[in-house]
Amino acid sequence: MQKTEFKIVVYEAQKILELETEDQELVRKSKKVLSKAYAPYSLFNVGAAVLLENGKIITGTNQENSAYPSGLCAERVALFYANSQYPTVAVKTIAIAAFHNNEYMQNPAPPCGSCRQVIIETQTRFNKAIKIILYGEKKIQIIEDAQQLLPLSFSNKFLE
Protein backbone atom coordinates (compact mmCIF):
# COMPACT_ATOMS: atom_id res chain seq x y z
CA MET A 1 0.00 0.00 0.00
CA GLN A 2 1.23 3.48 -0.82
CA LYS A 3 1.27 6.24 1.77
CA THR A 4 0.50 9.83 0.78
CA GLU A 5 0.98 12.73 3.16
CA PHE A 6 -0.55 16.18 2.76
CA LYS A 7 1.36 19.17 3.97
CA ILE A 8 0.13 22.44 5.44
CA VAL A 9 2.44 25.41 5.85
CA VAL A 10 1.38 28.04 8.39
CA TYR A 11 3.30 31.28 8.82
CA GLU A 12 2.89 33.00 12.17
CA ALA A 13 3.24 36.65 13.07
CA GLN A 14 2.93 38.23 16.51
CA LYS A 15 1.71 41.62 15.33
CA ILE A 16 -0.28 43.10 12.45
CA LEU A 17 2.70 45.32 11.61
CA GLU A 18 4.72 42.26 10.57
CA LEU A 19 2.32 41.68 7.66
CA GLU A 20 2.54 43.20 4.17
CA THR A 21 0.90 46.63 4.06
CA GLU A 22 -2.17 45.53 2.07
CA ASP A 23 -2.67 42.59 4.45
CA GLN A 24 -2.47 44.90 7.47
CA GLU A 25 -5.38 46.92 6.12
CA LEU A 26 -7.36 43.76 5.40
CA VAL A 27 -6.90 42.42 8.92
CA ARG A 28 -7.91 45.77 10.42
CA LYS A 29 -11.07 45.74 8.28
CA SER A 30 -11.96 42.20 9.40
CA LYS A 31 -11.55 43.27 13.06
CA LYS A 32 -13.65 46.37 12.57
CA VAL A 33 -16.52 44.87 10.59
CA LEU A 34 -17.28 42.12 13.11
CA SER A 35 -19.19 44.61 15.25
CA LYS A 36 -21.83 44.41 12.49
CA ALA A 37 -22.33 40.65 12.92
CA TYR A 38 -25.80 39.37 13.71
CA ALA A 39 -24.94 36.69 16.27
CA PRO A 40 -27.56 36.83 19.06
CA TYR A 41 -27.46 33.04 19.59
CA SER A 42 -23.76 32.24 19.73
CA LEU A 43 -22.55 35.72 20.75
CA PHE A 44 -19.57 34.81 18.58
CA ASN A 45 -18.92 37.60 16.11
CA VAL A 46 -16.86 36.85 13.02
CA GLY A 47 -15.61 39.36 10.48
CA ALA A 48 -14.16 38.57 7.06
CA ALA A 49 -12.46 40.96 4.66
CA VAL A 50 -11.84 39.86 1.09
CA LEU A 51 -9.26 41.56 -1.13
CA LEU A 52 -9.98 41.21 -4.85
CA GLU A 53 -7.43 41.34 -7.66
CA ASN A 54 -8.86 44.72 -8.71
CA GLY A 55 -8.00 46.16 -5.29
CA LYS A 56 -11.56 46.26 -3.98
CA ILE A 57 -12.19 45.07 -0.44
CA ILE A 58 -15.48 43.37 0.44
CA THR A 59 -16.37 42.67 4.05
CA GLY A 60 -18.89 40.33 5.63
CA THR A 61 -20.02 39.12 9.03
CA ASN A 62 -21.79 36.03 10.33
CA GLN A 63 -25.56 36.20 10.06
CA GLU A 64 -27.47 33.91 12.40
CA ASN A 65 -31.11 32.86 12.39
CA SER A 66 -33.53 31.45 14.96
CA ALA A 67 -33.71 28.42 12.64
CA TYR A 68 -30.03 27.80 13.29
CA PRO A 69 -28.90 26.12 10.04
CA SER A 70 -30.33 29.03 8.05
CA GLY A 71 -27.54 31.33 9.23
CA LEU A 72 -24.28 31.81 7.36
CA CYS A 73 -20.62 32.28 8.31
CA ALA A 74 -18.81 35.56 7.76
CA GLU A 75 -16.42 34.07 5.20
CA ARG A 76 -19.21 32.85 2.93
CA VAL A 77 -21.22 36.06 3.32
CA ALA A 78 -18.17 38.04 2.17
CA LEU A 79 -17.09 35.66 -0.60
CA PHE A 80 -20.56 35.16 -2.08
CA TYR A 81 -21.15 38.89 -2.06
CA ALA A 82 -17.74 39.53 -3.67
CA ASN A 83 -18.39 36.90 -6.34
CA SER A 84 -21.87 38.28 -6.96
CA GLN A 85 -20.61 41.82 -7.45
CA TYR A 86 -17.42 40.91 -9.35
CA PRO A 87 -18.02 37.52 -10.99
CA THR A 88 -14.93 37.81 -13.20
CA VAL A 89 -12.46 39.08 -10.62
CA ALA A 90 -10.20 36.69 -8.68
CA VAL A 91 -9.94 36.78 -4.91
CA LYS A 92 -6.44 37.43 -3.63
CA THR A 93 -6.71 37.26 0.16
CA ILE A 94 -9.25 36.73 2.91
CA ALA A 95 -8.68 37.94 6.47
CA ILE A 96 -10.78 36.57 9.32
CA ALA A 97 -11.18 37.84 12.89
CA ALA A 98 -13.47 36.71 15.71
CA PHE A 99 -14.79 38.25 18.92
CA HIS A 100 -16.31 36.42 21.90
CA ASN A 101 -17.00 37.35 25.53
CA ASN A 102 -16.30 40.97 24.70
CA GLU A 103 -12.84 40.40 23.34
CA TYR A 104 -10.98 39.39 20.25
CA MET A 105 -9.95 35.75 20.29
CA GLN A 106 -6.47 35.19 21.66
CA ASN A 107 -5.85 32.47 19.11
CA PRO A 108 -7.11 32.66 15.52
CA ALA A 109 -10.46 31.01 14.69
CA PRO A 110 -9.90 28.96 11.53
CA PRO A 111 -12.75 28.73 8.99
CA CYS A 112 -15.24 25.86 9.27
CA GLY A 113 -15.24 23.01 6.76
CA SER A 114 -18.04 24.49 4.63
CA CYS A 115 -16.22 27.82 4.37
CA ARG A 116 -13.01 25.99 3.40
CA GLN A 117 -14.93 24.22 0.64
CA VAL A 118 -16.22 27.55 -0.66
CA ILE A 119 -12.83 29.27 -0.43
CA ILE A 120 -11.26 26.40 -2.38
CA GLU A 121 -13.92 26.49 -5.09
CA THR A 122 -13.33 30.24 -5.45
CA GLN A 123 -9.61 29.77 -5.92
CA THR A 124 -10.15 26.92 -8.40
CA ARG A 125 -12.70 29.00 -10.28
CA PHE A 126 -10.22 31.82 -10.86
CA ASN A 127 -7.15 29.59 -10.93
CA LYS A 128 -5.49 31.76 -8.31
CA ALA A 129 -4.41 30.66 -4.84
CA ILE A 130 -6.18 32.53 -2.04
CA LYS A 131 -4.14 33.62 0.95
CA ILE A 132 -5.92 33.17 4.29
CA ILE A 133 -5.01 35.37 7.24
CA LEU A 134 -6.39 34.36 10.64
CA TYR A 135 -6.24 37.06 13.28
CA GLY A 136 -5.71 36.33 16.96
CA GLU A 137 -4.53 38.72 19.66
CA LYS A 138 -1.62 36.40 20.52
CA LYS A 139 -0.76 35.35 16.99
CA ILE A 140 -1.72 35.80 13.38
CA GLN A 141 -1.60 32.77 11.09
CA ILE A 142 -1.10 32.95 7.35
CA ILE A 143 -1.79 30.10 4.94
CA GLU A 144 -0.78 30.92 1.39
CA ASP A 145 -2.87 28.37 -0.45
CA ALA A 146 -6.39 27.56 0.76
CA GLN A 147 -6.21 24.05 -0.74
CA GLN A 148 -3.92 23.08 2.12
CA LEU A 149 -6.79 23.62 4.56
CA LEU A 150 -8.91 20.91 2.98
CA PRO A 151 -6.98 18.07 1.38
CA LEU A 152 -9.06 15.67 -0.71
CA SER A 153 -11.79 18.28 -1.05
CA PHE A 154 -14.75 17.67 -3.30
CA SER A 155 -14.56 19.48 -6.62
CA ASN A 156 -16.42 19.88 -9.88
CA LYS A 157 -13.96 17.51 -11.57
CA PHE A 158 -15.99 14.67 -10.04
CA LEU A 159 -19.06 15.93 -11.88
CA GLU A 160 -17.49 15.66 -15.34
Q: Does residue 33 touch ligand THU according to CB under 6 A?
A: no
Taken in order 140, 143, 147, 149, the sign of the CA dihedral is negative
With binding defined as CB under 6 A, does residue 129 bind ligand THU?
A: no
How many whole angstroms separate alpha carbon 78 and alpha carbon 91? 11
The yes or no reply on residue 73 touching ligand THU (CB under 6 A) is yes
Q: How far is the CB of 131 from ligand THU (least distance, A)?
A: 16
Angstrom distance (rounded) from CA 61 to CA 46: 6
Among 18, 22, 42, 54, binds ligand THU (CB under 6 A): 42
Q: To the nearest whole angstrom, how small is the minimum distance from the Cβ of residue 102 to ligand THU?
A: 16
Query: Is 75 known to be catalytic?
Result: yes
Residues 6+ apart with CB under 8 A from 146: 116, 119, 120, 123, 129, 130, 132
Is there binding between residue 27 and ligand THU (CB under 6 A)?
A: no
Contact stretch for ligand THU (CB under 6 A) within 5-13, 28-36, 85-93, 107-115: 107-115
- Listed residue (54, 56, 146, 55) closest to 96, CA to CA: 146
Q: How far is CA 151 from CA 9, 95, 112, in A?
A: 13, 21, 14
Of 26, 33, 34, 39, the residue at the interface with ligand THU (CB under 6 A) is 39
Binding site for ligand THU (CB under 6 A): 39, 42, 44, 46, 62, 64, 71, 73-75, 111-112, 115
Which residues are known catalytic residues?
A: 75
